[in-house]
Amino acid sequence: MRILEAKGITKSFGGLTAVNNVDFHIDEGEIVSLIGPNGAGKTTFFNLITGIYEPTKGEVYFLGEKLKKSKPYEITKLGIGRTFQNIRLFSSMTVLENVMTGQYCRTSTNLFGAMIKTPRAAKEEKAVKEKALEILDFLDLTNVKDEIAVSLPYGHQRRVEIARALATEPKLLLLDEPAAGMNTGEKVEMTELIKKIRDKGYTILVIEHDMKLVMGISDRIVVLDYGNKIAEGLPEEIQRNEKVIAAYLGKGGAESC
């Protein structure tokens, strides 16, 4: 089943084209990595999918339905969860509370009901907490659930952000540089964690610069350079692709497109 498809998607900012006429798809159960040099348009592509930006041209389809002018929270409710290149945790909240926030897009209690704690609100709050605890257990974070999230080591903060994204109950999980800033041991753990999440039944799209991690997790790899898609294929095909090698050596640029 095709989870996501982008057709001729383009995003321009004034005279700068950050993403140029890109076709892309991801099927259920896949791990697809989106790679490219800094400034290639990878995060812009994520932002187009998640409603932060609107395409200048082209269309995005999710589960066969065209994504219209939806707000990011509406995209989340549809079933697209994400993390960010720079970790964005709620600084005054515990690990558990941070993860619980991800579940609230699946609740129906309004503000008034939450304030007066109606029976429905109490029931939903209990379900939210149970779901969050289940995810924390899955990601081996139960022992730090009551810690302030931003006080944790960097690698654990990454896991908390992934846990919060999983709490939105996504059909597609977007991970923006999940191994950024990690040491070698943490990167190995992140590799295994991403595989574990996929084995749980999630479809995953990853932006990542660490090629060892990318080659270790990916079913397919899509390569952007200066906003253009210059290659797509299996990991072993991408490793041998001359355009990709040139782009990463810094001497391909526009000529390699």
Backbone dihedral angles phi then psi of residue 146, each to the nearest 5 degrees: -100, 5
The residues pairing with 24 across neighbouring beta strands, listed in sequence order, are 6
pTM above 0.75, yes or no: yes
CB atoms within 10 A of CB 143: 10
In this predicted structure, the answer to whether residue 254 has a pLDDT above a threshold of 50 is: no
| Residue ranges per structural domain of the chain | 1-70+205-257
Q: What is the DSSP letter of 11?
A: E
Mean pLDDT, the chain, rounded, equals: 91
Tens digits of residue pLDDT in 189-208: 999 999 999 999 999 999 99
Residue type, 80: I
The architecture that CATH gives domain 1-70+205-257 is: 3-Layer(aba) Sandwich (3.40)
